[in-house]
Amino acid sequence: MRIKTTREKRILYFKTTLRWIIYYLIIFSSFIVMTSGSWKKPVLLVPVALCIAINNDIMASAYTGAFCGLLIDVACGRLVGYNAVLLTVFCVASTLIFELYLRRKFVNFIVIAAAAAFLQCWLDYKFFYEIWGFADVERIFRNTTLKVWGYTVISSVFIYILFKIINNWLMPKEHLTIEEVIRTNQGA
């Protein structure tokens, strides 16, 4: 591993701080969008949490998952902590899957995001509607749960692109290109 210069360390520190500030601004914006208007909306915080999780270490993704889950609980009027537990598990599992088995490809992310969003929506339907035995409750699954899941999967595409841009710009790179080495040396 190449030893980093003080200037490189400062840049790395600045970029990491900026990256996390942008992450949390996106989380905050997603929460605001989820609590606006009366139409059905995607659960944006699920793909956002997963996008953060697949690019960071386990502990960071666990804390971010818990935070996003708490915000979903507030936005959806659910038992506080319920979605926090779910998203913590999803985020940790995603981090492990991408570390051990999958490459960070668009298709892989969409599959994982779709599976996680489906689980979240399905469990929400099970625990907050079906379990109470309302008449014609399956209509909620057809008309609300599946639609919300569909919107969430579609929104995952845009969220992935947004995070890809942020990470390309601010994520520390493991290998430097020749141009970057020359530029760094010229700067030093």
Partner 1 sequence: MGEFLKSTRFKVLLAFLAFLVGIMIYSVTKGGYSLSGVSFINTITKPFRYISNSISMKIEKNADSINNADAYYEENQELKKQIGELNKKLTNYDDLVAEVEELRKLVVIKEEHPDNIFSQPAEVMGYIANDPFKGFTIDRGYADDIEPYSPVITPEGIVGIVIDVSQHSSTVRTLLSPDLSIAAICSSTNTDFGIIEGTVITAENGMTKLTHLDKNHQIKKGDLMITSGSSGLFPKDHAIGTVTKTGIEANGLSAYAEIEPCADISRLRSVFVITDFDGKNDSTKEDTDEDKDNS
Report how far residue 60's alpha carbon sits from residue 56's, in angstroms, rounded to the nearest whole number: 6
Q: Fill in the per-residue mask, 51 to 80: x = in contact with partner 1 (CB under 8 A), - = not in contact.
A: -------xx--xx--x---xx-xxxxx-xx
Using CB under 8 A as the binding rule, whether residue 136 contacts partner 1 is answered as: yes
Question: From the CB of 2, what's the least distance to partner 1, in Å?
Answer: 27
Does residue 172 interact with partner 1 by CB under 8 A?
Answer: no
Mention every residue, 6+ apart, whose C-beta is less than 8 A from residue 122: 145
Which residue type occupies 113? A
Shortest distance, position 17 Cβ to partner 1, whole Å: 21
Does residue 143 bind partner 1 (CB under 8 A)?
A: yes
Pick between residue 127 and residue 169 the one whose CB is nearest to partner 1.
127
32 binds partner 1 (CB under 8 A): yes
DSSP conformation class of 36: S
Question: Could you say which of 1, 3, 107, 132 contacts partner 1 (CB under 8 A)?
Answer: 132
Q: Ramachandran region of residue 40, left (φ > 0), alpha (ψ -120 to 50) or beta?
A: beta
Rounded (to 5) percent helix, strand, coil in the chain: 75, 0, 25
Contact between 33 and partner 1 per CB under 8 A: yes
Q: What is the CA radius of gyration of the chain?
A: 19
Closest CA to 74 of 112, 118, 28: 28
Give dist(CA 109, CA 111) in Å, integer: 5
Could you say which DSSP state residue 101 is in? T
Shortest spacing between CB 172 and partner 1, in angstroms = 21
Among the listed residues 2, 3, 39, 178, the single contact to partner 1 using CB under 8 A: 39
154 scored as a contact of partner 1 (CB under 8 A): no
Encoded tokens for 122: 């399905």
Residue 117 as a binder of partner 1 (CB under 8 A): the answer is: no
Q: Which residues contact partner 1 (rule: CB under 8 A)?
A: 28, 31-41, 43, 58-59, 62-63, 66, 70-71, 73-77, 79-82, 84-85, 88-89, 92, 96, 100, 132, 134-137, 139-140, 143-144, 148
